Amino acid sequence: MEFDKARDIFGMYVFDRRAMKERLPQHIFNDLLASIEGGQKLDSALADMVASAMKEWALSKGATHWTHWFHPRTELTAEKHMSFMSKDETGMPIESFKGKELIQSEPDASSLPSGGIRSTFEARGYSAWDPSSPAFIMMSKKGGTLCIPSVFISYDGTPLDLKTPLLKAVDAVETRAMRILKLFGNRGLKWAHVTVGAEQEYFLIDNAVAKDRLDLRYCGRTILGCPPPKGQQMEDHYFGSIPSRVLAFMEDVERDLYRLGVVITTRHNEVAPCQFEFAPQFADANLACDQNQQIMDVMRKMAKRHDFALLLHEKPFAG
């Protein structure tokens, strides 16, 4: 059986700098890089050009919808899919995506993060494009969705997500790191970046076993029962030979993540029974957090295909 080389499929569903350079005029590409790296504002004309290029690229990959993809305070991601398709005045179908749609959207904020205690008309929320993290396509059986990483704020600017405080924290750390390094004599320093390599540990158990435990199904961990005879004392399991069924799951996850531009540098058995780990390559903190959400999303979908129950709790069998 032949497989595509990882290098050939890497980043094929990411609107990264390579795709930007192919699709955008050079001066537009340079202005967009200035916005990504320096935080400069995008004017409406530039946003329209970027949106048009992003739409054509997404359609060429099979995408049918777009969404502002953000991180509400649920430890999951949120998205509202909008179709590229509409009709013109003659009733003919057209595909459109405008700069103002790229920059800002207006999802309902009544349930995020307050759980629906506010009326919808009192709960305006805005999602705004984060150009420092590249857009990507999440494929499905019958198409795909262009996901645009975004922040999510209230009408008065109050953060309703986890990305906004992260971006503020990263900016504060980088600014003060520059000051400290210059105090130590590094006068020619141009920048300092915060990077993260988020190891993703997880547990895999058979669906046939998990479906008999309501606590595993609904809570992702055990609530009742005795702890296992051994927890993190399984020296024979740690770094041991990976079971063939688990390895097949890992390989399928890695292939999908390569297409999303995520490099998994390490995979291995962890120390507890049924525990395993992926370790991605270090990336800028903001991008690393987005990629970690992508990793968990791909793992959840792939576990179902392999008839596994995926547990992401740190110690799911503590009882």
Residue pLDDT, tens place only, 14-56: 999 999 999 999 999 999 998 888 777 888 889 999 999 999 9
Indicate the burial class of 234 (C-beta count within 10 angstroms; 0-12, 13-18, 19 or more): middle
Q: Could you tell me if residue 175 is inside a domain? A: no
Number of domains in the chain: 2
Same domain, 48 and 154: yes
Contact 48, 99 (CB under 8 A): yes
The CATH number for 213's domain is 3.30.590.10
Q: Could you tell me if residue 58 is inside a domain? A: yes
Q: Which of 136, 104, 85 has the alpha carbon at shortest distance from 297?
A: 136
Give the pLDDT of residue 114. 67
Q: Could you tell me if residue 302 is inside a domain? A: yes
Question: Six-digit token pair at 80?
Answer: 């509202």
* Cα gap 293→119, rounded to integer Å: 29
Q: With 60 as the cut, is the pLDDT of residue 2 above it?
A: no
Same domain, 157 and 202: no
* Cα gap 276→268, rounded to integer Å: 6
Same domain, 207 and 307: yes
Residue pLDDT, tens place only, 56-109: 999 999 999 999 999 998 888 999 999 999 988 888 999 999 999 999 988 777
DSSP tally for the chain: helices H, then strands E: 10, 14
Domain region containing 244: 195-311
Residue pLDDT, tens place only, 174-217: 999 999 999 998 888 888 899 999 999 999 999 999 999 999 98
* Cα gap 121→24, rounded to integer Å: 39
Same domain, 145 and 28: yes
Give the pLDDT of residue 285. 96
Same domain, 210 and 146: no
Q: Could you tell me if residue 156 is inside a domain? A: yes
Same domain, 212 and 135: no
Same domain, 27 and 153: yes
Give the pLDDT of residue 27. 92
Give the pLDDT of residue 232. 61
**Per-residue confidence at 272, pLDDT binned at 50, 70, 90?**
confident
Q: Which of 117, 128, 135, 116 has the alpha carbon at shortest distance from 154?
A: 128
Contact 306, 245 (CB under 8 A): yes
Residue pLDDT, tens place only, 273-311: 889 999 999 999 999 999 999 999 999 999 999 999 999
Answer with the one of 114, 138, 161 that is the final residue of a domain: 161
Same domain, 142 and 201: no
Higher pLDDT, 244 or 110: 244
Q: Which of 61, 83, 66 has the alpha carbon at shortest distance from 129?
A: 66
The CATH number for 132's domain is 3.10.20.70
Give the pLDDT of residue 11. 95
Residue pLDDT, tens place only, 113-169: 666 667 766 778 899 999 999 999 999 999 999 999 999 998 888 899 999 999 999
Q: Could you tell me if residue 203 is inside a domain? A: yes
Return the CA Rg of the chain: 22
Contact 288, 166 (CB under 8 A): no
Give the pLDDT of residue 206. 95
* Cα gap 281→220, rounded to integer Å: 27
Tell me what the pLDDT averaged over the chain comes to: 90
Q: With 50 as the cut, is the pLDDT of residue 1 above it?
A: no
Contact 95, 109 (CB under 8 A): no
Listing DSSP states for 140-185 in one string gives: ETTEEEEEEEEEEEETTS-B-BSHHHHHHHHHHHHHHHHHHHHHTT
Kind and range of the H or E element at 8? helix 6-9
Sign of the CA dihedral running 35, 126, 24, 19:
positive
User: Structure pTM?
Assistant: 0.91
Same domain, 262 and 128: no
